[in-house]
């Protein structure tokens, strides 16, 4: 098994790269999706978050009101740390469970948005970074996701810098161009991953 950390700045195109890798045969473990699952209604995770932050972070149907929680934690580093202390261990445990369930010969892609920020590179056999210029990221966030320029810039500023991400990369997928230019580059990365899995 080859354990691969996949990361990239917001708007760099990481989701598209993970979709292509799954199409080639990779096993995907998506940290964002797991983070939503571990605080779904009825989970111990949601109960712990409500204990810490109160019932004001719940919607009428009992699901987590993400914008309300975000407004609390992103304005207060201590509250964010408290939330992370609840959610991160749950995500880590579920990720490990999914990894153990994967075939021993598989390439397991851990899609981790904050891999660089949280110093997680040493957990993986290698790290793949999806890279785009800040100008490209900004354009995609505004044009494709409908963010305001100010919101997009704030989201980008809250993440690691491009240089910090590139510094932890074993392989870099350049995604500055059009979508059709991405596929051959991801195929090259996949060939390298399967070669390393065989050697591993």
pLDDT the model gives residue 199: 86
- The CATH number of residue 165's host domain is 3.40.50.300
Average pLDDT over residues 62-73: 90
Q: d(Cα 46, Cα 69) in Å, to the nearest integer?
A: 12
Q: What residue has token string 């354990």?
A: 3
**Are 113 and 197 in the same domain?**
yes
The DSSP bridge partners found for residue 15 are none
Q: Which of 70, 105, 140 is the last residue of a domain?
A: 105
Task: Indicate if the pLDDT at residue 66 is higher than 80.
Answer: yes
pLDDT the model gives residue 85: 93
Number of domains in the chain: 2
Q: Whose CA is closest to 71, among 85, 81, 57?
A: 57
Q: Whose CA is closest to 196, among 172, 171, 175?
A: 171
pTM of structure = 0.86
The DSSP bridge partners found for residue 4 are 109, 126
Task: Indicate if the pLDDT at residue 75 is higher than 80.
Answer: no
| Burial class of 118 by CB neighbour count within 10 A (0 to 12, 13 to 18, 19+) | middle
The phi and psi torsions of 67 (rounded to 5 degrees) equal -60, -40
pLDDT the model gives residue 73: 86
**Are 198 and 114 in the same domain?**
yes
Residue range of the domain that includes 187: 1-26+106-200
């Amino acid at each position: 098994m080859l354990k691969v950390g996949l990361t990239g700045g917001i708007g760099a195109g990481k989701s598209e790269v993970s979709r292509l890798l799954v199409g080639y045969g990779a096993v995907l473990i998506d940290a964002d999706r797991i983070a939503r699952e571990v605080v779904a209604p009825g989970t111990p995770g949601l109960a712990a978050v409500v204990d810490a932050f109160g019932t004001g972070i719940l919607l009428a149907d009992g699901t987590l009101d993400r914008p309300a929680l975000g407004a609390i934690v992103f304005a207060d580093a201590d509250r964010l740390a408290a939330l992370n202390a609840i959610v991160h261990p749950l995500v880590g445990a579920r990720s490990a469970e999914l990894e153990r369930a994967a075939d021993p010969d598989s390439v397991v892609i851990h899609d981790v948005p904050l891999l660089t920020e949280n110093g997680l590179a040493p957990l993986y056999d290698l790290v793949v970074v999806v890279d785009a210029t800040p100008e490209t990221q900004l354009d995609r966030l505004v044009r494709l996701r409908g963010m305001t320029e100010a919101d997009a810039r704030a989201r980008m500023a809250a993440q690691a810098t491009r240089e910090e991400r590139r510094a932890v990369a074993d392989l870099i997928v350049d995604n500055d161009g059009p979508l059709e230019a991405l596929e051959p580059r991801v195929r090259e990365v996949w060939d390298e991953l399967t070669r390393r899995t065989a050697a591993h």
